[in-house]
Structure 1
Amino acid sequence: MATQKLYAGAKLREVRTKMGHTQKDFAAKLGVSLPYLNQMENNNRPVSTTVVLALASEFAMDVTELSSGDGERLISDMREVLSDPLFEGDKLPLADLQLAASNAPALARAFIKLHQSHRQTHERLASLDEALGREDSRTTPSPWEEVRDFFHYCDNYIDPVDRAAEHFARLAVDARGLQRSAIDALKASSISVSFDDVEPLRRFAPETRVLHLSTRAPRETQTFQLLLQVALTRQNDLLEATLDLARFHTPAARDIAKIGLANYFAGAALMPYATFLASAQSCRHDLEVLSGKFGASIEQVAHRLSTLQRPGAKGIPFFFVRVDQAGTITKRHSATRLQFARFGGACPLWNVHSAFETPGRFLRQLAETPDGVRYISLARDISKPAGRFGAPVRRYAISLGCEVRHAPALVYADGMDTSRASAFEPIGISCRICERKACHQRSVPPLERQLVVDPNLRDVLPYQVE
C-alpha cells in the first residue's frame, strides 16, 4: 500500500514565522535547499521524511501536528456554509475546498466569518424586531458564537491555562484537599467562603469580599465553583493576557470568553492533565471510575477527555457534544474528523437523542459518517436539578466518542463487533450536506443533489435523490 503524502505548507510557514526565521535560515536548519522549502511551504511538494525528522530533533516539535490542526474543521465548515441556498448552483469540488484549507486557511476562515455576518443580518431583518432600528448596523459575529469558535479552533486546549491549573492542583492530593487549597488561596486574597442554603450556585459579593456557595449543589459542583473563583481572582493576569491574544470583536465576547477560561482552569485543576491522562489510560476511559477518583461529574469528565491535546502528550482524539431536549447543540468540540453542524441540531440517527429515553444509562453506538469514517459513540442523559421541590429540572444529553481504531483503549467497546460493517449505523452532520440518498429520517433534501419527483411512486421520501 502506498504511503499517503504529507502536505503541510501552512503549518511549516506557521512554525517558521513563530520562531522568527527567514526561509533561508529555516531551510539551513532543516537541511534542505531554499527552493525546496519554498515549494513545501506552497504545497507544491510534500513534506519529506528528512524535514519531519529535523523538526523533531532541531525544534522538539510534535510532528503529529503536521497532519492535524484545523484543516478538517475548515473543510467541514466551508461545506456547511456552501450548503446555504445562497450558493445554490455554485457547487465547489471537494478538492478545491481541501486546497483552500491547506494553502489559504486565513482566507477560508474569512469566508466563513463573512457568511456568519450575512446570516446574522438576514435573521435580524427577517425577525422584524422593533429594536432593530436601535441596534448598531454593523454585522459582527454574535459574542457567543465568536467565543465558541475561539475554543473550537484552539482544539479546546489552552496550554498556559491548563499548565497553571495543573501547577495549582499539585498542592492537593484529592478533591477534598483541592477544595481546601482553593479556600486557602481565596483567603490569601482576602476572600472568605460561606456555604449557604441559597439557589445561586455561586455568588461573589465584591463589597464584602465573601463568596457564597449553595449547600444544595453537589460537592463536585461546589469544588468546581471554588476553583472558578480562584481563576478569576488569582489567575486574572493570565486570563487577561490570553484574552488579549484572542482579539475578540466586542467587550461582550471578551467577558464571555473570560468566564470560559475560568471554567477551563477549574476543570483542569479538578482533573490535572498528566494525572488525569494516566488514570484515563489505566481504566480504559471509564467515565464512572474517573468521576469517582477525581470528584467530578460525568459531564465534567467527558468534557475533560476531549481537551487532552497537549503537544507531546496527547490523549485519544475525542469528540464531545451536549444537546438539549429539542436536539439543539449547546456544547460542541471535536478533535476528530467528525465535525458538528454549527447551527441547528444533530443527526436524528445519532444515539445522543435516545439518551433522554433511558435516564441513568450509558448507550453505545457504532456509527459511520458519509465519508466512510467509523466511530464508537457513548451517550448518556444529564439531569441538573435546582435542589428544591417545584424547581425546574434541566435535562441534557451528552455524547463522547472517537474513531473506532481506538476501540481497544475504551472499556465501552468491550463486546462490540467492530469488524462487521453492518454493525455501524449511518449518521451525518446535517441533512443539507449529507449525501445519503435513502435516509428515512431526512428532514430536507441534500442541496448538492438533483431530485426526481414521481407522482406515481411514494417511498420513504416523497422524492428520489439522483
Structure 2
Amino acid sequence: MTPSALIGTRLRERRLAAGIRQADLAAGAAISPSYLNLIEHNRRNVTPEVLERLAAALGLSAKEFGDSEPAALVADLRAAAATLPEAGAEAERAEDLAGRFPGWARLIAQLQTNNAVLRQAVAALNDRLGHDPHLSSALHELLSALSAVRATAEILVETEDLTPDWQRRFHLNLHHDSARLVQGAETLISWLDHSEVETETVAAAPQDEFETWAAARGWSAEPGGDDAPWPASPAARDLARAWLDQAGRDRAAMPPGAFEAALDESGPDPALLAARFGSDVLAAMRRIAFLPDSAAGLVLCDASGTLLFRKPADGFSLPRFGAACPLWPLFAALARPGQPVRALVATPAPGARRFICLGFCETRQPYGFDGPELRTAAMLILPADPRDAGAAIALGPTCRICPRAPCPARREPSILGTAAV
C-alpha cells in the first residue's frame, strides 16, 4: 500500500479524533455521506478540490493528507528493521506506517540515525582507547609514578633505622613522584575531556558534531563555505543551518567592510558596535567571534546556565561535559540582564593565560507580560593585552578538572587534586 492510497484512512482517523460524525463532515464538504464513506475506506479517489473542502471542514490543511512523506523515510524505516531482524518488524509494511502514522515513522527513523551515530562514536572511542599512542604514553607515565610512590612509601614504613639524611632523600623522591603523578593525571584527563576527534566518527551529540564541523570551517560563518561536507546527522545539520542563518541576519544588520572599519576604530566593544549599527549587543558579539581568523571565543547559555554554544579561544578551555566554572563572567551577566560585565581573568597553571571576558544578557517575553521571561547570556573571550594590568579573577573550565585551591565556588573535588594558586 502506497502513502497516496491512504488519504481516506487519514481522513477517517482525523475525523474520529475530532469527534465529528461522517454525515456532518460530508455536509461540511458539500458531498454525500456515501461518497465520503467510499473515500474513507480507500475505495474511491478524491479530487484535490474535494480534499480541500474536507480538510477545511476538519480545520486542517490538505497537505496533511497528501503524499508528504518522501521515499527516503520508507527506506529509513526498512533500514531500521534490518538492523534488528530478531525484533520481527514487518519491513514490507513500512509504506503503510509512513502513510498512516508519519510522526511515529519520522521518530523511528531519527532514533535509528541517532543510534547509528552513537554506535560509530563508541566504536571510534574504543579504537582510540586501544591504539592511541598519546593515551598509552599517559597511562604508562601514570602507572610508573604510582609504582614509584608506592615503593618509596614501603621503604619509609618498613625501614625503622633510616638515617635523617636518607629519610630526606626518600621524602624528596615522594615529592617529585607525586608531582609526576599529578601531571600524568592532568594529561590523561585533558585527553579524555578535550581531545580533538572527527565529526563522523565520535561526535556523541548533535551539538558536539556541529561544533566540530564549525571548527573545521575555522568558525567562520561568512559565505563561501557551502561546498564543505555537512554534518552527518539531521539534528547537527539543523544546528549548522540555524547558525549560518543567524550569521546572515547579523551581517545584514552590520555589513562587512563597515563592521570591520568600526571594529578597527572602536575596538572589540560589543555595546559601542551595537549602538553604531542600531543592532543588539549579542549580535555584535557574534559578528566579532565569527569573523574570519578571529581569535575571540564565544559562549552562550540560557537561564538554566546550560551552555548552548561553545567557540573556544586558544588557551581558554571549555568543558565538553558537566557544568562550567561558576566564576565565569557569563553567569554574572546572566544575573544582571542588560548590564555589561567586563572582567580580567586568568586560567590555571601550567600554561596560565589572561583574557578579557565581556558578558551580556538579553531577555525575551515570548508569552507576553503574564508569561515567563527567557534569558540568553553571552560571553566574548578576548586575549588580554599586556597593558591590561590589575588583579585577574582566577577561574577554570569546570570544578571536576580544575586544580585551583582554595576556591569558594567549588562544587566538587577535583580529580586532579588541588594546588595553591
In the superposition, the TM-score normalised over structure 2's length comes to 0.50
Give the number of the structure whose alpha-carbon radius of gyration is greater. Answer: 2
More helix by share: 2
Between the two structures, name the one with larger relative contact order (CA 8 Å, sep ≥ 6). 1
Scaled by the length of structure 1, the TM-score of the pair is 0.45
